[in-house]
Copies of this chain bind each other. A is one copy, B any other.
Amino acid sequence: MGVGQAAPAASSSDAYGHADPMIGTSGDGHTFPGATVPFGMIQLSPDTRTRHFKESYDWAAGYRHDDRSIAGFSHTHFSGSGHSDLGDVMLMPIAGDVHLRPGEVDDEGRKVGEGYRSGFRHDTETAEPGYYAVTLDDYGVRAELTANRRVGLHRYTFPAGRPAHVLLDLRHSIYDYEGKVLWSRVRIRPDGTVTGMRETRGWAPGRQLYFAMRFSAPPSAHRLENRETPEYKGFATPAARDPAARAQIEGRDLAAVFDFADRGDEPLLVKVAISTVSEDGAVGNLDADMPGWDFDATRAAARTAWSEALGAVEIDASEAMKTNLYTALYHTMQAPSLAMDADGRYRGPDNAVHRADGFEFHSTFSLWDTYRALHPLLTLVQPEEQNADFVNSLIAAREHSPYGILPVWSFHGLETWCMIGYHAVPVVADAIMKGIDGIDAGRALEAMTASAEYAPYGGLGDYMKLGWVAIDREPEAASKTLEYAFDDWTISRVARRLGEDAIAARYEQRAQNYRNVFDTATGFARAKNSDGSFREPFDPDKAGYGSDYTEGNAWQYSYYMPQDVAGLIGLMGGDRKLVDRLDAIFDAEVDPESFAHVEDISGLIGNYAHGNEPSHHMAYLYVYAGQPWRTQERLKQIVQSQYHPGPEGLVGNDDLGQMSAWLVFTALGFYPVAPGSNEYVIGRPFVERAVLNLPNGRRFAIETENLDEANTYVGAVTLDGEPLARSVLTHAQIMAGGTLRFRMQAEPNTEWGRAPEARPFSMSTYPAR
């Protein structure tokens, strides 16, 4: 059977076994080790430190592998974000005395003094996709976590003979600070279901998160505690003097303690559903998604879901690379995550409740990161319906938006306005250009142009009037101009496809705006004032929030015009100039401390910062200059230095899967430098063999001859036996199924890909495409 035909899914326990959620939980990865299913609403994971604002960046995922104590298990986390939030509805099983505060930690994250947190050792931890377990040493409690899409399931085995308790801390929050919890509520319903909500003023303002919780055995008693020193004395609730008799409390610093009779060896199960809509919505999710109490079956279902999802790519590579890749693939399926109740209701960016019609609403769009490689990857490894859900969620959110524009960085349906650009646009455009079914292209185009023409957003008024974002009126103007121009080009692509030629022409012209900020004298893209002068003084090494660039400097940002690299080469004065400049970037001697003030710039190779997104396309730019072998060298340099299978194995924030998606593409031998182009630029593979089980049922194989440390270069590349004429693979070629075969060698092949017509798409060379 040829690889191009449909085949029964291969056994994917191999894939499952190589995905290690612990990778990225130290260093700058910011991933979490807990239990979730692909794109699930619940990410149930231990939190080690979150209480202090100063601990925000390094503890963005709640857990750090370096810490020695756990505060509890909360139900929402970001996977690899730089900024953070969440940590909602934290539970802690306790055997013995109950403290109402987690207590403090020392520099190593060890518990200091009194508190409910507990020490733990890594050798008691298990972290698998969909399952996490740890022993809480202070209590002798074995805690296991699993989840399905809308419900987290806890299994606590308490030591016999000690009083067992479960504490709920509604104040606990990731990126916590005084005043973050605006309001919260806990209520014990007559049937024993515990429901509640909290509203926070975090990354997203006024975020309401509701929950519903049930225990497998009824508590023998409970206490609802408001720990806030009252600022305002309301009238006494019925049980003001008796926390044990309270049926509901409200306030800003709530905790609840549930006591359980000695259970012997019988574990206690707790299931928790969340909702962005209402308490009743959370109850509905609990009823619909997990009516029963079978921990092992839930865990097995999560394992099956992950095995199937990871099975989209079959990999034959070194053990380390397999682990890196399956873990990467695991990390690409954390977000955009489900943000809709079982009844179809969800909260939109207007903070109002809506009902989804014909799609599943997802949120947690880290778009500045994920438009680059994550979303393009998901079009290859996830069903069309799933990709359509992402796009339809973006379009729906735009229609609910008070500003009438697509999301920028949203989660739980709400907008955070984080980072720059309107990069929902290339995500939508890429999906339409790839022919993903179930998207209304007309609505999509309207959403894209509305977003690109909303003058108050990020200097767009000037951009539309002048052709560039003016640095005297808007910070980070160089980066914004470049990224807007790319996004604009993707709009032009969709408009052409839909026959909207006037729109297409307008956006093709906007796509050339990168030229307006490129300073041919210095060879850098630079921030321009509204009067047309470049901002002075200019220092290409300088990076900083609010500077000319976004999380980067002139070296890192100047060569981002993936829609027209040929145009860039023209501006620079030829291929050689670009190659020299790329070499200057990679080979620079840079003191990492010079970037210490910008959290996200990490993973440095010279001025190349693999730990942050603006660099992600750079190694592939040599291909556009007709020198694919230089790309091949750089990829080897990056892959070998920037990923390895340990907790500190990610050099930068995984950014909801973008760092991981880069690795998956790169290891397969190609990368989507310009989403929306339907082209992937050929790099070099890092696998012996891989097979993509495509959403259309076909299979696309990558095979590598002579993969060896010494063989850095691609000698030849064939598709289904025919030499690949260009240094490009098209989306159609992949979706047709087939075999891409690389032959590696020790010496560069300096001929293949050299001719201008062999190079990847650029507007300047393929104007009519």
Contact = CB atoms under 8 A, between A and B. Distances in A.
A358 interface: no
A416 interface: yes
Contact of A206 (B203, B250, B352, B419): B250
B205 A234 contact: yes
Interface in A218-247: 231-232, 234-239, 242, 245-247
Interface string A400-427: 0011110001000000111100000000
A642 to B, nearest CB: 28
Given A205-B250, A234-B417, 20 more contacts: A180-B232, A182-B199, A183-B205, A185-B206, A188-B402, A201-B232, A203-B234, A203-B235, A205-B234, A206-B250, A235-B418, A238-B403, A238-B405, A238-B454, A238-B456, A245-B456, A246-B456, A247-B403, A247-B404, A248-B350
A242 B456 contact: yes
Contacts of A352: 278-280
Interface residues of A, number: 51
Interface string A445-477: 000000000111110000000000000000000
Contact of A179 (B232, B246, B279): B232
A205 B185 CA distance: 10
Contacts of A190: 404
A210 B585 CA distance: 55
A177 interface: yes
B417 A236 contact: yes
Nearest to A245: B456
A751 B177 CA distance: 76
A201 B253 CA distance: 14
A634 interface: no
Given A187-B402, A199-B183, A206-B183, A239 B416 contact: no
Given A199-B199, A402-B247, A185 B351 contact: yes
Contacts of A199: 182-183, 199
A129 interface: no
A351 B236 CA distance: 18
A353 interface: yes
Interface of A: 177, 179-180, 182-183, 185, 187-190, 199, 201, 203, 205-206, 231-232, 234-239, 242, 245-248, 250-251, 278-280, 350-353, 402-405, 409, 416-419, 454-458
Contact of A183 (B183, B353, B416): B183
Nearest to A455: B245
B182 A183 contact: yes
A353 B179 contact: no
29 contacts: A177-B232, A180-B232, A182-B183, A182-B199, A183-B199, A183-B205, A185-B351, A187-B350, A199-B199, A205-B250, A205-B251, A234-B416, A234-B417, A235-B409, A235-B416, A235-B417, A235-B419, A237-B417, A238-B403, A238-B405, A238-B417, A238-B457, A238-B458, A245-B456, A246-B456, A247-B402, A248-B350, A248-B403, A279-B350
A402 B235 CA distance: 16
A726 to B, nearest CB: 41
A201 B183 contact: yes
A350 B456 CA distance: 40
A61 B205 CA distance: 32
A349 B251 CA distance: 15
A615 to B, nearest CB: 22
Nearest to A403: B247
Nearest to A190: B404
A112 B247 CA distance: 47
B201 A278 contact: no
Nearest to A240: B417
Nearest to A280: B352
A208 to B, nearest CB: 10
A238 B278 CA distance: 29
